[in-house]
Structure 1
Amino acid sequence: MRDSFVIGQYDWLKTQGGRPAGERRYAILRVGKIKTKGQLGAALSHNFRERHTPNADLDRLHENTVLKGPENGQDVVAAWEARAPEKIRKNAVHALEYFVGASPEKMAAMSRTQQDAYFRKALDWFEARHGKDNVLSAVIHRDETTPHMQILVIPLDARGKLNARELVGGKATLSKMQTDFAHEVGIAFGLERGRERSQATHQTIKEYYAHAQEPVEADFRLPERRKGHVLGVGRESDEEWRQRATEAAREAIVRAKAQYEDRLRQIERGAAQLLAGIRTHEQALRRGLGLSTPEERQMADIHMNGLLITARTRELSPTESRELVEAVETVLGPDGMTRLLGGDLDQLPGETFADRTQAAAPVLHALVDAGRDVTLALDRLEGHWRSLEEARQAEQEEKRMRARTVVIEKTHDHTHDEGDVWEL
């Protein structure tokens, strides 16, 4: 994310002065400008872990929480489009992304309930500042080293125009924002504002991840010999100094080993994520080329039918919707998908015309969510529904006519008195 403004002091910085490491208790607030829809989609893919994320622990993905907004990036983009003005300047900032956190040692000292309360209060603060409807998404990440929250805001001014300059333009505005955030949110949780006009230089996320991949360097220096006071009182003997130096070296080795092991775990997690992404991409390519095995098509057919049964009772979740698209692509293959998007709904599962038409609705809905053009297929589906309705009405009319015929026949065959009244 480029052109980011950083305010306050936090763990992703090279400090020059301020509190020593381990004693920092700063409220962290960072904001970045997103200038295009492409950058918007990329930021949301990171927030919702829809792409490989360095330093994110796959085993802790379930601990992430969507505090506000949709459950996936595509729906957040749709929410942005719903609020964005019809005309957008070429150089307009499309969105603001805020990073909310705290110094690692202070965040680690908070309980889960306290952390949640901090993030909730921060979200309320942003909604009051930017307007509740303009805060489109808030996601808490707990799958990285230090819990934090990322908030996406569409920067609309009072006229409904994209105007990030009015919200975060200039150092004075950013400095006041940091002060307000610390006083109105951070203080209640034992956090304070970073030093104003600090000479600290801050790292971008990209720089931080690059630094995380650097080799571990053992930080070790031999301890200085204690010289003692006047006349050598308290002077350290050679044996005492050797013992103390040996202990210091042993502690340095333990620290270096722990650092190497932590780095190894990070690499293993990153490799697992990368491998999962490669496998997902490979599966998509094989589906697109029609290279799925018979076993894969059989399993996909079972999964597809299960999702279609589910769709009869409730709306599919975004994850289920994506799974349905993948299953349909695997079962039909590229040629079948071309026919489907062209309006050939007869290849969908179902023994009868009505069954196949019923299956078409959730499939087409899932394809729309995936960004596919289903105009022709929708026209065909509408025609099918009209045909079904006409057939139903014709059947009802036929039943009514048969019932009328039976009444007429019974009337003609019945012996009755002249006073009897027969209504048809």
Structure 2
Amino acid sequence: MSFLIFRTKKLKSFGEISGSLSHNYRTRETPNANPQETPKNEHSHQSADDVLCGIKDRIPQKVRKNGVLCIETLMTASPEWQGWHNASKEAALFEKSKAWLVEKFGAENVIATSIHQDETTPHLLAYIVPLDPQTNKLNARKWLGGRTKLSQLQTDYHQAVTQHDQDFGLRRGIVGSKAKHTTIQQFYSQIQAPIVPNQAFEHVQTQIQPISTPVPKKPLDSQLSEPAWIASVIYKDVAS
């Protein structure tokens, strides 16, 4: 049984926004990401700075103290979803997700989107400035205010993805469930958790061999950190 997943995170400072963007664009070390697959990631903007400028341009000059500057959303499906083995279904899922975000939050408020292909499960990230067009003020409560609105967002998202007789085989989470909501931060914590080997496995002795590819000097235009660059070379050497 596979579920459609929608998570949100409120970003209340430009420091939080920059930290999220550095993870999104891999400008800081990302242990759970495979550097060899990172070039497959898709971004609506070329750089984190471009996204940050877009967010700043959308935010009004007067902002309430402790107000939500930006909403980060994560949209994906269960890791076991069969659509991950079907390129057209995967692309359709993300396109429908983007279209729903524009319809729900407004095209001007959806500043940027990214698709990560270098982590355990592909997922779509979006950065949304919660500007209420009626008041021209930031108003995250309009969309995220309370359990009822969050639940309705989940329902609306599921209906938008599965409408027009295009069944992705994805279920909405159980309405009214007492299960604790998983945040974006918790989502990443789960997929970054180290894999604990089964104690029942027979111990296998192996002899570690040095990598056959010498590590070349990191290009000047590379956005990867030095450890991430070395890791990318090693991944290519041992990919098989």
TM score, norm. by length of structure 2: 0.77
Give the structure 2 partner of residue 277 of structure 1: 225
**Number of residue pairs matched?**
204
Is structure 2 residue 167 aligned with structure 1 residue 192? Answer: no
Is structure 2 residue 5 aligned with structure 1 residue 33? Answer: no
Q: What is the CA–CA distance in structure 2 between the aligned matches of 1:218 and 1:39, rounded to whole Å?
A: 37
In structure 2, the CA distance between the partners of 1:205 and 1:151, relative to structure 1 (3 Å rule), is closer
Give the structure 2 partner of residue 398 of structure 1: none
Give the structure 1 partner of residue 150 of structure 2: 174
Percent of paired sites with the same residue = 36
Letter matched to residue 127 of structure 1: V
- Tell me by how many angstroms 1:180 deviates: 1.0
Q: Would you say the 8 A contact 1:99–1:148 is kept in 2?
A: yes
Is structure 2 residue 122 aligned with structure 1 residue 122? Answer: no
Q: Could you tell me which of 12, 15, 25 is aligned with 1:48?
A: 25
Q: Would you say the 8 A contact 2:8–2:184 is kept in 1?
A: no
Give the structure 1 partner of residue 231 of structure 2: none
Letter matched to residue 20 of structure 2: A
Give the structure 2 partner of residue 138 of structure 1: 113
In structure 2, the CA distance between the partners of 1:51 and 1:112, relative to structure 1 (3 Å rule), is same
In structure 2, the CA distance between the partners of 1:204 and 1:163, relative to structure 1 (3 Å rule), is closer
TM score, norm. by length of structure 1: 0.45
State the SS of the aligned residue for 1:26: strand
In structure 2, the CA distance between the partners of 1:204 and 1:217, relative to structure 1 (3 Å rule), is farther
Give the structure 2 partner of residue 340 of structure 1: none
CA distances 1:384-419 after superposition (whole Å, capped 9, x unpaired): xxxxxxxxxxxxxxxxxxxxxxxxxxxxxxxxxxxx
Letter matched to residue 28 of structure 2: R
In structure 2, the CA distance between the partners of 1:137 and 1:200, relative to structure 1 (3 Å rule), is same
Aligned 1:246-257 pairs, distance under 5 A: 253=201
Q: What is the CA–CA distance in structure 2 between the aligned matches of 1:116 and 1:215, rounded to whole Å?
A: 29
CA distances 1:112-159 after superposition (whole Å, capped 9, x unpaired): 221111101110111011111110111000000111000110000022
Letter matched to residue 216 of structure 1: V
Give the structure 2 partner of residue 226 of structure 1: none
CA distances 1:15-48 after superposition (whole Å, capped 9, x unpaired): xxxxxxxxx2111000110000111111111111
Point out the structure with the larger strand share.
2
- Tell me by how many angstroms 1:218 deviates: 2.2
- Tell me by how many angstroms 1:71 deviates: 1.3
Q: Would you say the 8 A contact 2:109–2:131 is kept in 1?
A: yes
In structure 2, the CA distance between the partners of 1:109 and 1:56, relative to structure 1 (3 Å rule), is closer
Give the structure 1 partner of residue 54 of structure 2: 79
Q: Which runs of 5+ in 2 are unaligned?
A: 205-223, 229-240
Give the structure 2 partner of residue 60 of structure 1: 37
Q: What is the CA–CA distance in structure 2 between the aligned matches of 1:107 and 1:33, rounded to whole Å?
A: 31
Greater Cα radius of gyration, structure 1 or 2:
1
In structure 2, the CA distance between the partners of 1:148 and 1:36, relative to structure 1 (3 Å rule), is same
Q: Would you say the 8 A contact 2:41–2:116 is kept in 1?
A: yes
Q: Aligned-pair RMSD on alpha carbons? A: 2.4
In structure 2, the CA distance between the partners of 1:206 and 1:153, relative to structure 1 (3 Å rule), is closer
